[in-house]
Amino acid sequence: MELRIEKGILLAKVALEFHGEELLLNNVIVDTGSSDTIFDTDLLAEIGLFVDYVNGIPTVMYGVGGKGEVCNQQLVSELYVDGQSLNQFPLQLGMTQDIYGFDGFIGLDFMMKTNMVVDFAELAVIYKEG
């Protein structure tokens, strides 16, 4: 995961893989204030990961100021984010590009599951053995 800081926001370039299809997202916020990880529905559709309206759970993603946006939370299998396996991971899919201008948000759920540590001095990510 390549990190950079722009206008005080920690951003990452993140590689995703779903059922052998790969996607590089260049504009993902690494957000310790977000409980959930969410990616843009249109971008994930490019690798065959679509909103599951049958098994998914409609939910609301709240941003700064309490404004809420509808998204869908669903269990995803065989998803790799930055090489980290997220089997049966409760991922949220929503409109992050159009509304916020970002490809997605890496939340605490991902950080905790993968034992992710951010080295701010080197602007690098480390995954500790758990």
CATH of residue 117's domain is: 2.40.70.10
Phi first, then psi, for residue 47 (nearest 5°) are -110, 15
Nearest 5 degrees, angle CA 123-CA 126-CA 130? 155
Domain residues for the domain of 45 are: 2-127
Q: What is the pLDDT of residues 55-66, one digit of tens each?
A: 999 998 776 556
The torsion angles phi and psi of 64, rounded to 5 degrees, stand at -60, 135
pLDDT digits (tens, 9 = 90+) for 22-59: 999 999 999 998 899 999 999 999 999 999 999 999 99
pLDDT band at residue 118 under the 50/70/90 scheme: very high
Could you give phi then psi for residue 44, rounded to 5 degrees? -70, -25
Number of compact structural domains in the chain? 1
Contact 51, 42 (CB under 8 A): no
